[in-house]
């Protein structure tokens, strides 16, 4: 005969019902009887509503299912054992990747443990295209990498190579200056899960000038017949990188030039008045730079010829 759950309390024991232990025919839970009853079944608690005929082979429907106990075990298998025709919302444990597989509208992705534990090298010149090896756990094919500056700005890696679940390589997409260090690294798996390791990359240092600022000397213009020699500038990079020298403001005397290696050479064109030329030179490692102001004074030949005191020449 029918059972009215609204008059029952406590625990329903399925074994008390004969047959296949399913509720069949008029003994099924229907409509409000399912909504009003509270059933405790092998650790399931809360309000469980059975719809339709809840006989053997019927589906179990619950809008709010509360599970008690210490664990719930879900299906498990390797990546190759994922369902051939999955449905959105499926979840399983992936024994190969060590995390849960979840199927969404964009396909399968793993939501297991993801951690970044190391980045090498720990220091570089800041140059674009530098390759870094990232180590950790839970990396996946298709993972992306971002470099994070100290103002939290994120820069997508120029390229990423998946080695295995513990190793990726990624290249810097642009130059990074000392002002942006230390850099952090973020790894994002295809499913959107991400992990970061902050403040792990030093962008080197700025070059230090060895040549004192100020006057580099006084010389004659070419009308004197006294040739100008060479002035070698010197700066040092803390990373040992080669220094590139350029004039960033002001100007050298006419016919005098600066090489990228830091040598000023040439003999000034003839001028009509004694002139001091002021200029600023940058010493750069290709990313970071330090500027220094210098000057060169040129004595005009016609002034020299009028009996003025002589001036020094390059040696």
Question: Domains (ranges, CATH) in the chain?
Answer: 1-70 (no CATH), 76-110 (no CATH), 118-201 (2.60.40.10), 208-305 (2.60.40.10)
pLDDT for position 290: 93
Mean pLDDT of 9-37: 42
pTM of the model: 0.52
pLDDT at 45 over 70: no
pLDDT at 155 over 90: yes
Check residues 24 and 95 and name the one with the higher pLDDT.
Answer: 95
Using 50, 70 and 90 to split pLDDT, how confident is the model at 121? very high
Reading the block at residue 46, the tokens are 């809360």
Rounded distance, CA 255 to CA 311, Å? Answer: 19
Contact 197, 185 (CB under 8 A): yes
Rounded distance, CA 291 to CA 15, Å? Answer: 88
Range of 32-46, 61-75, 281-295 with top mean pLDDT = 281-295
pLDDT at 120 over 90: yes
Check residues 231 and 286 and name the one with the higher pLDDT.
Answer: 231
Cβ neighbour number for residue 262 with a 10 Å cutoff: 18
Torsion sign, CA atoms 285, 286, 288, 293: positive
Q: Measured in Å, how far apart are the chain's first and last C-alpha atoms?
A: 119
> C-alpha 119: how far from its chain's center?
11
pLDDT at 136 over 60: yes
Contact 157, 169 (CB under 8 A): no
Using 50, 70 and 90 to split pLDDT, how confident is the model at 250? very high
Q: What would the pLDDT profile of 264-278 be if each residue is shown by its tens digit?
A: 999 899 998 999 999
pLDDT for position 152: 95
pLDDT for position 50: 43
């Amino acid at each position: 005969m029918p059972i009215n759950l609204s008059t029952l309390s406590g625990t329903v024991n399925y074994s008390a019902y004969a047959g296949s232990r399913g509720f069949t025919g008029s003994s099924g839970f229907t409509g409000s009887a399912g909504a009003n009853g509270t059933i405790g079944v092998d650790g399931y608690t809360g309000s469980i509503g059975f719809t339709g005929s809840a006989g053997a082979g019927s589906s179990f429907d619950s809008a709010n299912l509360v599970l008690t106990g210490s664990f719930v075990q879900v299906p498990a298998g390797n990546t190759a054992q994922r369902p051939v025709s999955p449905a959105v919302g499926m979840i399983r444990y992936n024994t190969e990747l060590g995390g849960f597989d979840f199927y969404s509208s964009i396909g399968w992705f793993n939501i297991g443990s993801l951690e970044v534990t190391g980045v090498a090298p720990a220091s570089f010149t800041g140059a674009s295209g530098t390759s870094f090896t990232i180590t950790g756990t839970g990396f996946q094919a298709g993972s992306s990498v971002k470099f994070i500056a100290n103002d939290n700005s994120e820069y997508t890696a120029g390229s990423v190579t998946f080695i295995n679940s513990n190793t990726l390589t990624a290249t810097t997409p642009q130059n990074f200056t000392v002002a942006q260090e230390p850099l952090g690294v973020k790894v994002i798996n295809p499913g959107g899960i991400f992990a970061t390791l902050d403040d792990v990359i030093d962008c080197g240092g700025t070059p230090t000038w060895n040549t004192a600022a100020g006057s580099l000397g006084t010389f004659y213009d070419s009308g004197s017949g006294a040739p100008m020699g060479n002035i070698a500038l010197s700066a040092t990079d803390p990373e040992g990188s080669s220094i590139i020298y350029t004039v960033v403001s002001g100007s050298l005397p006419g016919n005098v030039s600066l090489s990228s290696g830091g040598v000023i050479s040439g003999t000034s064109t003839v001028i009509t008045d004694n002139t001091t030329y002021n200029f600023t030179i940058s010493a750069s490692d290709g990313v970071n730079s330090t500027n220094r102001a210098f000057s060169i004074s040129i004595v005009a030949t016609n002034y020299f010829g009028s009996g003025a005191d002589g001036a020094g020449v390059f040696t």
